[in-house]
Amino acid sequence: MNQNPLLQPTGLPAFAAIRPEHVEPAVREVLDRNRAALTDLLAGAAAHAPDFARTVPQIEALGDRLHRVWSPVRHLHSVANTPELRSAYNACLPLISNYETELGHNRELYELYARLQAAGVHDGEGSARLLELAVRDFRLAGVHLPEAEKARFKAIMEELAQAEAGFEQHLLDSAAAWSLHLTDAARVRGVPDFVLEPAAARAREAGKDGWLFDLTQPAYVAVVTHADDRQLRHDFYRAWVTRASDQASWDSGHDNGPVMEQVLRLRHEAAGIVGFRNFAEYSLATKMAKSVDEVESFLRELVGRSKAAAQQELDELTAFAGQPLEPWDIAYWSEKLRHAKYAISDEELRPYFPLPKVMAGLFAVVDRLYGIRFVPQAGIETWEPSVEYYAVQDHAGTTIGGFFVDFYARRNKRSGAWMDQAQNRWRTGGQLQVPVAHLVCNFSPPTREAPALLTHDEVVTLFHEMGHVLHHLLTRIDYPSVSGINGVPWDAVELPSQFTETFAYEPEVVAMISGHHQTGAALPGQVLQSLRESRNFQSALQMVRQLEFALFDLTLHAGYDPARPGQVQAVCDRVRDEVAVIRQPAWNRFPNTFGHIFGGGYAAGYYSYKWAEVLAADAYEAFEEHGLFNPELARRFRTEVLEVGGSRDIAEAFVAFRGRPAHVDALLKQSGIA
């Protein structure tokens, strides 16, 4: 029996047993087995008439087998990074990329799918869509190319995988290399205790007095929002926006500038090889949006309808502050203005949102909407003592899925919040493998005096990620490549998450998720009213900020010219000049930290957040019209959107739920801009 924990054929990943030395042997073994199995399968398929049931489920099984090995490795690389694990991860990236490109260039495999599609041979819900997407993806991978171009495409994919991973690793290492030691109590006035306490503990561990700050996301956000010392806000801001750049004075070894050039060059070349003018066109071939022009028009319409409002919001803030504002002043004075207008602040709200209460209320909301329950499970192997696991059951007690939760920021964990797939739904041989997700956030951990206490923004983030979890777990599709979020266009995959986060503002829901962590007292009625009124506070500023990011991403990938390298910051500056109302300093290196597009899956697709927000706002409007927990609406949203995965065209799925296509006015209305 193979003792490598990554090669266990069933069950949850054995996280506690996985070691870096297990990674490469497991990956090599499963790739070798998959290659041999595929050769045998194709030889057998060539001798028979097209038969979906004899072939496609076996191919799906190969993908699931690789996912069971690589998914826990990729996850640990994000949440429990070590030099040893990183080395093993990086060693396997070219192996994985090589294998995936081999599949995309396998002419026999392509012809099998094409014959099945042409013959109309499929088997069960989602199978026809599976064939359609597979044939499309073969063509996008260059299955039709001459051998020399296939070889170059393959080499590009391997190099690109390494470069994108390197971008994220530089970002993590650059942040980890920064620290700030302070001993003057006056300089930390206003900084919340949940940041000061661990900073004091780090100082003691280092044999120092005072506070030793690190550059985790919660610490950065808390300082720029609450620190009275303007220089301290400046120092944190400068460190955050110059990570992994030529401006990172504390760390010269992790500049992402050359990495970004490498990534852009490789993407552009790959797109050209398979027949596209640029990577943006290549990216949109798998999206709901049909063209670069359509996306650009969509973004510019939103800019035109929100920039004036954003300027008004900035003017109001500047007048309130009574002084010219720099970027490191915006969050600080915005919090004070929000308190002045609505008599609430993040830190005053935080005691009313203890994480256990928020989770219990969130579970109750989901149960009322979709009729599912969350049952904590003891004895499940995890990578960190604070991680928990929940089984998801229907009211008959049948387990339909599960998910891990990893809530707290750590130095060896990347920033942000996300959902990832630990295990896909997959029915084979009469056995059902239920879907399992990872829900990851970067909240401040509990202190000696209190549980983890969330800002309302963090509550919204948690609801958002739960929307992704539900999309993954509630699927009814039995083929992994089109179940859950798989096969869903990138510009629609945020629909369930952005739809779900909207519930976090409803009075009925806030009552379910809040209660003072010491007394259990409900959030006072006036505070709740102020929270709702503050929902669209500076919404136009937030809108143009996201539009700036999206237009930068689209412009960069659509207009990239390999003969003119070194244009990344210049493109960013031009977009800012057109869109932004908050002026950034010349040393701001936001592109170097933009992991969504240089290290993640949002390249030429960051617009997806706004595109999906339109869908989500329009969907939520139906609940505003007919009742927050309307059972028929909830049933229809579940069956027409959440359960179908990638088995159905998302535009058709939305119309099936809403009765018509979505319209941008719903988002502008929800944002208070219309």
Q: Which helix (H) or strand (E) holds 215?
A: none
Q: What distance in Å separates the CA atoms of residue 470 and residue 67, rounded to the nearest whole number?
A: 20
Q: How far is CA 642 from CA 469, 621, 647, 654, in A?
A: 10, 17, 11, 10
Average pLDDT, the chain: 95
Q: Bridge partners of 433?
A: 426
Residue 39 has pLDDT above 80, yes or no: yes
pLDDT for position 2? 64
Domains of the chain: 5-104+106-140 (1.20.1050.40), 178-241 (no CATH)
Span 529-550, pLDDT tens digits:
999 889 999 999 999 999 999 9
- 63 contacts 70 by C-beta, under 8 angstroms: no
pLDDT for position 346? 83
Q: How confident is the model at residue 653 (pLDDT cuts 50, 70, 90)?
A: very high
Q: What distance in Å separates the CA atoms of residue 297 and residue 517, rounded to the nearest whole number?
A: 47
Q: What distance in Å separates the CA atoms of residue 442 and residue 101, rounded to the nearest whole number?
A: 34
Nearest to 180 by CA among 250, 253, 254: 250
Q: What percent of the chain has pLDDT over 70?
A: 100
465 a catalytic residue: yes
pLDDT for position 161? 94
Q: Write down the catalytic residue from 296, 458, 465, 548.
A: 465
Q: What distance in Å separates the CA atoms of residue 117 and residue 138, rounded to the nearest whole number?
A: 13
Q: How far is CA 430 from CA 302, 427, 477, 478, 479, in A?
A: 49, 7, 14, 11, 13
Residue 1 has pLDDT above 70, yes or no: no
Q: What percent of the chain has pLDDT over 90?
A: 92
Q: What distance in Å separates the CA atoms of residue 225 and residue 232, rounded to the nearest whole number?
A: 11
Query: SS3 string of 356-389?
Result: HHHHHHHHHHHHHHHCEEEEECCCCCCCCCCCEE
Span 341-384, pLDDT tens digits:
998 888 889 999 999 999 999 999 999 999 999 999 999 999 99
Span 264-293, pLDDT tens digits:
999 999 999 999 999 999 999 999 999 999
pLDDT for position 347? 84
- 480 contacts 424 by C-beta, under 8 angstroms: yes
Span 102-142, pLDDT tens digits:
999 999 999 999 999 999 988 889 999 999 999 999 999 99
Span 287-318, pLDDT tens digits:
999 999 999 999 999 999 999 999 999 999 99
Collapsing DSSP states into helix, strand and coil, what is residue 212? strand
Q: How confident is the model at residue 632 (pLDDT cuts 50, 70, 90)?
A: very high
- 452 contacts 407 by C-beta, under 8 angstroms: yes
Report if pTM > 0.95. no
- 632 contacts 311 by C-beta, under 8 angstroms: no
Name the maximum alpha-carbon separation found in the chain. Answer: 80
Q: What distance in Å separates the CA atoms of residue 224 and residue 237, rounded to the nearest whole number?
A: 7
